[in-house]
Amino acid sequence: MDTARLLEKQRTYFRSGATKSVEFRIHQLQTLKKLLSEHEDELFEAVYADFKKPELETYATELGILHNEISYTIRNLKNWAKPKRLKGTWINFPSSNYTIAEPYGAVLVIAPWNYPIQLALLPLVGAIAAGNTVVVKPSELTPHTTSVLSRLMSKWFKEEFIAIVEGGVETNQALLSEDFDHIFFTGSSRVGKIVMEAASKNLTPVTLELGGKSPCIVDDTADLETAAKRIAWGKFLNAGQTCVAPDYIMVKASVKDKFLEYLKESIRSFYGVNAKLSPDYPRIVNEDHFGRLVSYLSDGEIYYGGKTDQEECYIEPTILTDIKERAPVMEEEIFGPIVPIITFNDIGEAIDLINSKPKPLALYVFTREKETEDRIVEKCSFGSGAVNDVVAHLGNHHLPFGGVGKSGMGAYHGKKSFDTFSHFKGIMKKPLWLDIPFRYAPYKGKLKWI
């Protein structure tokens, strides 16, 4: 792939002004929606081939989210794209003031493997809405989905407007060496640093959607049965390969045993006693990740699960207790179906532990106490989160989605996506009928009037 030639082609197209009109953008979003509907079965099959993931889950976590986002964007785009009038100040009286949202130009979207359709196309929706041309680089670790996406997108869109570039690290490096107008990266913090460093050479603005360890607190006032069900759903969805999955659980010591019973029951009620036979339980993406996850199984006592099958990249939903000190499972992002349980006696301890680690992408708390909820939300810094639920908040396009600190910078979803891919140009317009001479020299005697 000649990345320089591709970028030049997109730049020429962008400069032609073709992407500027709101009508054009809406039409492209409608086209994307149509593509997703017409090729739904192919996309289901591709994701199944990569993860053994059931159709309902693929719809809920990939296609459904995209349909909602596209429809919402189409409905609101005219309004978002309008110039916005702002107040003036007495210094500039009289004047009218406004912002104009303009597209950055040619933007690059780099996606990870864990939700290979959603995470490649959701930023694309924002980029199209804002009027950019886009190069999308999906992950090489989901070959079936990436190849179907690439084939479909190149059939439905001109490459000077949207191009899907397949490839691994080298391709990414080649893309990162080009002078894009914005880079939107979703992936690990490790690669996020590489992206930011490459972007700095051209002073390219970046949005970094990264990962980390997202804590989940369960206190003794929580509805333990519902908490266990919701946590088990969010943790074992996509076999734990979700950036906002609850990474570890901190449960009040006095309710630990009861909570663990409910958690075990929830896993069994979702996937049966043998999750390997369940049509609803996906597999780990590849052997490298499988091996990494298996190594965590010896970091504590296996309370439930622990069975694995390398040939199928299968890891049973697993609950770990009695975690060893400084164990990697509590230091690294797990990103798989293993959940360590730690206990606390006072909520302050849980808050201190969270604040001793890098700021998480998500944080969850299960409690009936408003005071506990407020304390955690106020004292901990995190990207976004939920009270008495997990993961589901990212399906609400009214909430901005993104990290803070080591879990990322910038946000998207809904209107925030449009903003992320736009530059807001501020303009002041002055009439000529009044020209107050105060600002002009000579200044003598004017200071006393300020």
Residue 420 lies near ligand NAD (rule: CB under 6 A):
no
Dihedral sign from CA coordinates of 301, 216, 196, 401: positive
Between 305 and 403, whose beta carbon lies closer to ligand NAD? Answer: 403
Between 211 and 305, whose beta carbon lies closer to ligand NAD? Answer: 211
Give the number of other Cβ atoms within 10 Å of residue 396's Cβ: 13
Q: Which residue has the tokens 């209107």?
A: 415
Q: Which of residues 234-263 bind ligand NAD (CB under 6 A)?
A: 243
Residue 61 lies near ligand NAD (rule: CB under 6 A):
no
CA 201-205-208 angle, 5° bins: 105
Smallest gap from Cβ 5 to ligand NAD, in A, equals 20
Tell me the C-alpha distance between 424 and 144, whole Å.
Answer: 38
Between 70 and 176, whose beta carbon lies closer to ligand NAD? Answer: 176
Tokens at 358, concatenated: 């890098």
Between 370 and 398, whose beta carbon lies closer to ligand NAD? Answer: 398
> Is 381 within 8 Å of 296 (Cβ atoms)?
no
Active site residue 369: no
Tokens at 340, concatenated: 């360590």
Residue 396 lies near ligand NAD (rule: CB under 6 A):
no
CA-wise closest residue to 239 among 125, 133, 115, 147: 115
Instruction: Among 361, 386, 390, 391, indicate the residue that binds ligand NAD (CB under 6 A).
Output: 361
CA-wise closest residue to 203 among 219, 179, 222: 179
Tokens at 149, concatenated: 């996406």
Residue 172 lies near ligand NAD (rule: CB under 6 A):
yes
User: Which range, of 78-86, 183-191, 224-232, 419-427, touches ligand NAD by CB under 6 A?
Assistant: 183-191
User: Which range, of 95-103, 180-188, 294-302, 425-433, touches ligand NAD by CB under 6 A?
Assistant: 180-188
Q: Give me the catalytic one of 69, 178, 209, 316.
A: 209
Tell me the C-alpha distance between 169 and 186, whole Å.
Answer: 14
> Is 416 within 8 Å of 401 (Cβ atoms)?
yes
Smallest gap from Cβ 255 to ligand NAD, in A, equals 29
Between 170 and 322, whose beta carbon lies closer to ligand NAD? Answer: 170
**CA of 260: how far to CAs of 98, 323, 341, in Å?**
56, 15, 9
CA 282-285-286 angle, 5° bins: 130
Helix axes 64-81, 118-130, angle to 10 degrees: 10
Instruction: Among 16, 173, 221, 355, indicate the residue that binds ligand NAD (CB under 6 A).
Output: 173
DSSP 425-444: EEEEE--SS---GGGSSP-T
> Is 426 within 8 Å of 93 (Cβ atoms)?
no
Between 224 and 249, whose beta carbon lies closer to ligand NAD? Answer: 249
Give the number of other Cβ atoms within 10 Å of residue 79's Cβ: 10
DSSP helix/strand/coil, 304 = strand
User: Which range, of 205-213, 275-283, 302-310, 441-449, touches ligand NAD by CB under 6 A?
Assistant: 205-213
Strands 96-103 and 338-344, bridge-based pairing: unpaired
Residue 191 lies near ligand NAD (rule: CB under 6 A):
yes
Give the number of other Cβ atoms within 10 Å of residue 3's Cβ: 22
Between 103 and 360, whose beta carbon lies closer to ligand NAD? Answer: 360
Tell me the C-alpha distance between 124 and 108, whole Å.
Answer: 9
Q: Which of residues 210-229 bind ligand NAD (CB under 6 A)?
A: 210-211
Q: Which of residues 85-144 bind ligand NAD (CB under 6 A)?
A: 110-114, 119, 137, 139-140
Between 135 and 222, whose beta carbon lies closer to ligand NAD? Answer: 135
How many residues sit close enough to ligand NAD to count as binding (CB under 6 A)?
A: 27
Instruction: Among 131, 187, 246, 414, indicate the residue that binds ligand NAD (CB under 6 A).
Output: 187
Smallest gap from Cβ 26 to ligand NAD, in A, equals 26
Tokens at 345, concatenated: 């006696």
Smallest gap from Cβ 404 to ligand NAD, in A, equals 11
Q: Closest residue to ligand NAD, Cβ-based?
A: 211
Smallest gap from Cβ 378 to ligand NAD, in A, equals 23
Q: Give the binding site for ligand NAD (CB under 6 A).
A: 110-114, 119, 137, 139-140, 168-169, 172-173, 186-188, 191, 194, 209-211, 243, 333, 335, 361, 403, 408
Among all residues, which ones are annotated catalytic?
Answer: 209
